[in-house]
Structure 1
Amino acid sequence: MKFKNIKKALIVFAAAATLQACTKKEVIELTPEFSLDALSNPSSMKQVEEVLTGAYSRFRGADYYGSGSGTGSGWALMPDVLSDNLYEVTAETLANSRAMADWIYNQSTGQTSSLYSAPYGVIAVANIVLRDIDKFTTPQNQLLANRLKGQAYAIRAMAHFDLLRYFAVKFDRNSTTDLALGYSTEFIVSSEVKPSRLSNKDYYDKLFADINQAITLLGNVDKAINPASGLTRPFIDRNGAYAILARINLYAGNWADAATAATNALNGRPLATTQAAFSGMYNQTNRGEIIWNVQFEAGQSGPTFLVYFVTSARNYFRPAPEIATVAGNTGLIQSNDIRYSAFFSVVGSGGLGLTKYQGKGTATDGNANFPAIRSGEMYLIRAEANARLGGANEAAALADLNALRAARIAGYVPVVLAGPALINAIADERRRELMGEGHRFFDLKRTTRTIQRGAICGTSVSAAGDCSLAPTDREWAMPIHESIRNANPNMAQTLGYN
């Protein structure tokens, strides 16, 4: 069935939050669209485009890529908090995300509700664009319509995929018994619509339909979606849509399709090979290898505050010693690697902090962009996909792994690997490359591995309640919050929760 709406309260929340994120001009022009009593239609293609801007603004929400004090950052830093990449600092934490970090969340934990509602808020606004754009499309502005409509489809696919990552128990592409969530294709304010969870197969079918439609439309537009030069790429263009397709295929186990989509995403998007180009992606001094970034302007916060409260140099969470150390000569990321100084610095009481989002330029106010998709990830998707295909494809996988490492590590000597050793090396490289970028928990989940936190876990330095999460534990998938199920009894609870 088509998932039309979650519940009226969620849509009202989505509308109000979108208004807060818009500029003054957008608020003035979009207010009629977000009337809480009745929705009036945009009066022009220009207003439809401004609604699309509102969809992008929702990605900045504190529970999506933005953050609060020790909270939020759901798809930026929370997957690292949930994994083995970070440890909670007993002496500095406010414990605002303790339930998440210790894997003791349940159906009454507020942050699980936020993880559910944040993407649906994005989706709701994208659906307004898709609902209204055809009203203003003519033969004369068809290419403009393609540009806007393609982005809306890509946004809708991206947000639905992010929901799948947290709430699906398994990622099996063709399972008709494993449950994903509802897939929202219409914007309707009605408390009478009570959707059920779709099977993985039905959900993936809709994901692929949306992102492939985006790719088609974005291949025939009136102008470039992002500027040819500059420091950012704040909109999803065709490269970005291909990158989303590559991610989805990776999780679905469609190895050949994942490799092809990653190659298409990399067209004109080479790896950053210098410290300035790489670090610049995080402090907005260089575009580097960004394919799509979530743009945070002045006063719009940033991703960092879940982990590092930069304005007071307070580390709620620090990098695990297995990742990096102050000395820089042990751990996965060492000082001869351009990722080391881009990601970390010594802060506070002398420990290493994850400071990659501390600010733009030399600022230390936490107002930084989030590189949601970049070329390094595409190299690793293609490498993993080819390694899992095996046989003759392993040579291409090894070439991508060595190319990425050579771009990052001074004096790197290429390795020769095959079979499981190659797959494991690529997994380790994903952990290095994508540290603090929203992947580690999901990478461990999709490959059914155990989380085993390091020796610092469970000590006085980091008094965690649990240091290990087995592949069969329920906490790999988030529960449906009780408030959502109370409003919609058709929404089945995630396996293992009440």
Structure 2
Amino acid sequence: MRKFYIYICCVILFGCTSCNDFLEEYSQDLTYARTAADLDEILVGEGYMPVPNQRELVSLQGAYYFPWLHLMTDDVLEHVNSGNLQREGLNAFYTWAPYPYTNEEGEMVKDNTWERLYKHISVVNVVLKKSEEIHDFPEQIERIQGECYFLRAVYYYYLVNFYAKPYAKATADTDLGVTVKTTEYIEDVYFTRNTVAEVYKQILEDLESAKKLLRGKEKKTVYRADYHAVQAFLSRIYLYMEEYDNVIAAADSVLAANYSLLDYNTLSLSTDKWGMIQPTSTTYKDSPEIIFSQGGNAINGLMQGNMYQISTDLLELFGEDANDLRQKFCIWETMYYGMLYVPCKLARPEDGMVSSECLIRLPEVLLNKAEALALIGKDVEARAVIERLREKRIVTENYIPVNYSGDELVNFIRDERRRELCFEGHRWFDLRRYAVNSHCPFQIEVLHDKYEINANWEAEYQGTYRLKRYDENSASYVLPIPQHVIEFNRGEIKDNDPRPEVEVFYNK
């Protein structure tokens, strides 16, 4: 079989100066593939998000994928008790800066999220093309192809939700999305942006292809895509698109599978040798709830020491029901770094690493279905679905069934989603889609207090940053297209509306 070169990057999208420069820069990454096993190795090594070393610091350009996704939401606040350096590279996201890709010195840096995601897309495009020529193990080839289609859909989901407006039926056909590239070869052309509707159309086509190819294939591990991961992700995509009957159908496919909810009534906490309470993992590799995970768990590095903590607003939401066991098992009150509250869903990596940015769990599928049912007025069915989750999260002897209906039920399910899925990469995207929902829109302001350590090593208040409601400042809910990509494409890739400096006020 002739040698086949697998190009690891897509030159034009990354902003390299020419195809020749690209080939020279990445010649060491060219890979030969002759068998299904070769393709599988490439897919695992370059197609999936890697898991960083746990000693890796969480930073703007570190090994973790988009840790800043958590920092733009109303679920976090700063925790400042020593120097400023750890937070400085992420401050621009925490304060919704006009151009957040700046380092600790305030200098503009490349956006590695754009580059990484398009690199993965380039890899799966090449693997898909090459798979047409390899026939040694047809079943394995189909599985590889199915995983490729799933991964490409996932990466375009992140790209379009980072760099474009949220999907809105009324405007998706004209709102600019991101560049869609599904071919494996390098094109010496300047790219433009597809519309949001076109990106979502590609996502759905890829997921449908993945579904057909992965049906009946054996599940290898939670770190590899399978049929149920595809259906679960479809339920999420259809929810964003307000196609509620399709949400329900995709969710039902997963709910009929061999997954189950972890009953928090059966869990217990332990203490260390000093008598301090130690957290128990509730979200881990071998949990019966885990459907799919890729990438690292950045939240454990973000929410500690001199970085960030759970916001008062989220703590109060948990506190609305004293019988909610998630307060006990998903939040850790620690004094190691001064009193603060941090998430502890994955208490220890050795319990089984799962991601805090790219994770699919059974509770999300239930929440997707419940929200869809409530939004089409099927309140009785929606309550029955949400009860399935809450019965495993609330103290059994004190459980009170849900009795909301209409918009109150929708809002309750959304609050339940925030409690259950916090620090799993959903909240920022949810705030965006709620704002443009045609059935039950919901918008909020987000307030972030800012502190700096002064010369006396005291936390000095720098003001409160206000992210206004989406209808007042939609630009700040969309990341700018990386400047080097715009410059290289000579303006063919148009930027988003400029993000304004958000308001800063002083109330402390």
Is the aligned partner of 1:353 residue 2:342? Answer: yes
Shift of 1:304: 3.0
Q: What TM-score, normalized to structure 1?
A: 0.79
Structure 2 matches for 1:128-147, cutoff 5 A?
128-137=126-135, 141-147=137-143
**CA 167–315 in structure 1, closer or farther in 2 if over 3 Å, else same:** same
Count of residues paired in the alignment: 443
The Cα offsets for residues 69-119 of structure 1, whole Å up to 9 and x where unpaired, read as 477697675333101000012335532211000111327645782232232
| 2:359 aligned counterpart, secondary structure | strand
Shift in Å at residue 67 of structure 1?
6.4
* Alignment match of 1:165 (pick from 149, 155, 161): 161
Change (3 A) 1:408 1:147: same
1 CA distance for matches of 2:368 and 2:244?
9
User: Are residues 467 and 261 of structure 1, via their aligned partners in 2, closer, same or farther at CA, if it must alter by over 3 Å?
Assistant: same
Q: CA deviation at 1:358?
A: 4.8
> 1:457: which partner in 2?
449
| Aligned residues of 1:383 and 1:397 also touching (Cα < 8 A) | yes
8 Å contact from structure 1 (residues 48, 129) kept in 2: yes
CA contact (8 A) 2:64 2:298 kept: no
1:213 aligns with 2:202: no
- Determine if contact 1:86/1:319 at 8 Å carries over to the other structure: yes
Residue 281 of structure 1, CA deviation: 4.8
Give a deviation string over 1:160-219, Cα, whole Å, max 9, x none. 0111111111312573211110112123345x2321110122212111110000001001
Q: Distance in 1 between matches of 2:487 and 2:333?
A: 46
Residue in 1 that maps onto 2:506: none
**How far is 1:56 from its partner?**
4.8
Q: Distance in 1 between matches of 2:31 and 2:294?
A: 29
Choose the corresponding residue for 2:68, options 78, 81, 84.
Answer: 78
Deviations 1:323-368 (A, max 9, x none): 227xxx96357574145323433141022123434533479xxx76
Query: Rg larger in 1 or in 2?
Result: 2
Q: Deviations over 1:128-182 (max 9, x none)?
A: 21121111126xx222211111011000101101111111113125732111101
Name the aligned partner's letter for residue 7 of structure 1: I
C-alpha displacement of 1:399: 1.1
Aligned-partner SS, 2:313: coil
Query: In the alignment, what sits opposite 2:5?
Result: none
The residue number in structure 1 matching 2:276 is: none
Q: Distance in 1 between matches of 2:258 and 2:387?
A: 20
Q: In the TM superposition, what is the alpha-carbon distance from 1:55 to its structure 2 partner? A: 3.6
Distance 2:368 2:149 in 1: 22
Describe the SS at the equivalent of 1:240: helix
Aligned match of 1:303: 298
2:288 counterpart letter in structure 1: G
Look up the SS of the partner of 1:225 in the other structure.
Answer: coil
Separation in structure 1 between the aligned mates of residue 402 and residue 249 of structure 2, nearest angstrom:
24
> Counterpart in 2 of 1:496?
498
Of 383, 386, 390, which residue of structure 2 is paired with 1:401? Answer: 386
Q: Structure 1 residues 414-423 or 111-120, which shifts more?
A: 111-120
* From 236, 245, 265, the counterpart of 2:225: 236
Letter in 2 for 1:208: L
Does structure 1 conserve the Cα–Cα contact (< 8 Å) formed by 2:281 and 2:351? Answer: no
Equivalence for 1:444: 431
1:39, distance to aligned residue in structure 2 (A):
4.5
Task: Check 1:463–1:334 CA distance in 2 against 1; reply closer, same or farther (3 A cut).
Answer: farther
Instruction: Give me the whole-angstrom Cα distance separating, in 2, the residues matched to 1:38 and 1:61.
Output: 20
Please tell me the residue identity of whatever aligns with 2:330. Answer: A
1:45 and 2:36 matched: yes
State how far apart, in whole Å, the 1-side matches of 2:289 and 2:383 are: 21
How far is the alpha carbon of 1:5 from its aligned partner?
A: 3.8
1:241-268 CA-to-partner distances (Å, cap 9, x unmatched) read 1111111111111111112112212322
1-structure distance, mates of 2:283, 2:122: 29
Query: Following the alignment from structure 2 to structure 1, what is the Cα–Cα distance between the partners of residues 412 and 375?
Result: 12
Return the TM-score normalized by structure 2: 0.78
Between the aligned partners of 1:40 and 1:353, the Cα distance in structure 2 is 43
2:488 corresponds in structure 1 to: 487
Distance 1:381 1:42, change over 3 A: same
Q: Does structure 1 retain, via aligned residues, the 8 Å contact 2:52–2:64?
A: no
What are the equivalent positions in structure 2 for 1:146-295 lying under 5 Å apart? 146-173=142-169, 175-190=172-187, 192-221=188-217, 224-226=218-220, 233-266=222-255, 267-274=257-264, 276=267, 280-284=281-285, 286-294=286-294
Q: CA deviation at 1:440?
A: 0.7
Q: Report if aligned partners of 1:76, 1:437 keep a CA contact under 8 Å in 2.
A: no
Gaps of 5+ in 2: 1-8, 18-22, 103-107, 269-278, 436-441, 452-458, 501-508
From the superposition, tell whether residues 76 and 97 of structure 1 become closer, same or farther in structure 2 (CA, over 3 Å): closer
Structure 2 distance, partners of 1:251, 1:315, is 35
How has the CA–CA distance of structure 1 residues 452 and 111 changed in structure 2, closer, same or farther, with 3 Å as cutoff? farther
Amino acid corresponding to residue 457 of structure 1 in structure 2: D
**Distance in 2, Cα, partners of 1:374 & 1:206:** 24
What is the aligned-residue identity percentage? 21
Contact 1:283 1:357 in 2 (8 A): yes
What are structure 1's unaligned runs of at least 5 residues? Answer: 13-31, 228-232, 297-301
| Distance of 1:443 and 1:225 partners within structure 2 | 29
SS state at 1:135 partner = coil
> Which whole-Å CA distance do the structure 2 matches of 1:337 and 1:282 have between them?
14
Q: Give the Cα separation in 2 of the matches to 1:462 and 1:148.
A: 52
RMSD of aligned Cα (Å) = 3.3
Q: How far, CA to CA, are the matches of 2:408 and 2:165 in structure 1?
A: 27
Cα distance, 1:395 vs structure 2: 1.3
Distance 1:361 1:276, change over 3 A: farther
Give the equivalent residue in structure 2 for 1:7: 12
Q: Which residue number corresponds to residue 320 of structure 1?
A: 311
Opposite residue 225 of structure 2, the aligned amino acid is I
Is the 8 Å Cα contact of residues 242 and 265 (structure 1) preserved in structure 2? yes
TM-superposed CA distance for 1:315, in Å, is 4.0
Matched position secondary structure for 2:192? coil
Cα distance in 2 for partners of 1:133, 1:276 equals 46
1:423 aligns with 2:424: no
Whether the aligned pair in 2 keeps the contact of 1:11 and 1:121 (CA below 8 Å) is no
Whole-Å separation in 1 of the counterparts to 2:110 and 2:479: 7
Residues 496 and 70 (structure 1), Cα distance of their counterparts in 2 relative to 1, 3 Å cut:
closer
Separation of aligned partners in 2, 1:462 and 1:183 = 44
